Amino acid sequence: MGLFSRFKRAVKSNINDMISRAENPEKMLNQLIVEMNEQLIESKKTVAAAIADEKKLERQMATNRDQAAEWERKAMLAVKAGQDEMAKEALLRKQDYDNTARQYQGQWQAQHESVEQLKGALRQLQQKIEEAQRKKNLLIARAKRAEAQKRMQQTMGNMADTSAFEVFDRMSERVEQIEAEVDAMREIEASGSEDTLERQFKALEASESSADKLLEDLKAKMARLEDKTDRNEKEQG
């Protein structure tokens, strides 16, 4: 079972490394599936080697059993031939092969159980990888949603700093002040225009009044001159 402990450690190491430097979740997950399949291939090779060892032990066990059976057959022949000593030697050879066959059987049985466990674990591993492949798109969608939420939280966190809004408010107040100043200047200019026009009309009125007075004075002077001339003419006549 150390095989799958190594598989888990290798995959976990790759995952931790990929997560620590991950920028693209989709790329990371695709690469992770590739890594898992590569590890699966290596695990299959190890299981295949274990099965081969099991088959080898099974053949050696069968070979020793066959040899034991053969020496038993020879012992029977020796007994039939009245060669008890040869029969004893044959039986001792049979006993050696029986012992060796039992030893191989014990090793084969242990290897067989180990192989069955490895096969079961390998099937589970294949199922998990297939499940990971099916869930990959879901994980990618979740990763994208989490990234979007992260960016939103960062934006909200930045908005919690009121300095930008304070600057905005000050700019708004400044614009309002500029607008008020422009309105005041317009009002002043309009007022100044009215005063100038009024002064012009007053000057004109003043000018007209002065001319009327001069004209009246002139007429009065001319009237006095005429009266004087008339008087002189009467006196001379």
Asked whether 31 and 18 are in contact (CB, 8 A), the reply is: yes
Task: Say which residue the tokens 């960062």 belong to.
Answer: 154
pLDDT surpassing 60 at residue 193:
no
Task: Say which residue the tokens 């297939």 belong to.
Answer: 130
* Top-confidence residue, 166 or 55: 55
**Around Cβ 39, how many Cβ atoms within 10 Å?**
19
107 residue type, one letter: Q
| Length of the chain measured in residues | 237
Report the alpha-carbon distance of residue 157 to residue 164 in Å, rounded.
13
Encoding tokens for residue 88? Answer: 């004893």
pLDDT surpassing 70 at residue 205:
no
Q: Any idea which of 54-63, 86-95, 164-173 has the lowest mean pLDDT? A: 164-173
CA Rg value for the chain = 61
* pTM, 2 dp: 0.51
Q: Which of 8-17, 108-117, 224-233 has the highest mean pLDDT?
A: 108-117
Whole-number pLDDT of residue 147: 78
Report the alpha-carbon distance of residue 64 to residue 23 in Å, rounded.
61
Report the alpha-carbon distance of residue 181 to residue 204 in Å, rounded.
34
Beta-sheet strands, E only, within 88-201 = none
pLDDT surpassing 60 at residue 141:
yes
Asked whether 3 and 118 are in contact (CB, 8 A), the reply is: yes
What are the φ/ψ torsions at residue 160 (nearest 5 degrees)? -65, -20
Segment 72-81, tens digit of pLDDT? 999 999 999 9
Largest CA distance in the chain: 222
Percent of the chain scored above 90 by pLDDT? 32
DSSP state of 166: H
Q: Mean pLDDT, to the nearest integer, of 54-79?
A: 95
200 residue type, one letter: Q
Whole-number pLDDT of residue 23: 60
Report the alpha-carbon distance of residue 217 to residue 229 in Å, rounded.
18
pLDDT surpassing 90 at residue 213:
no
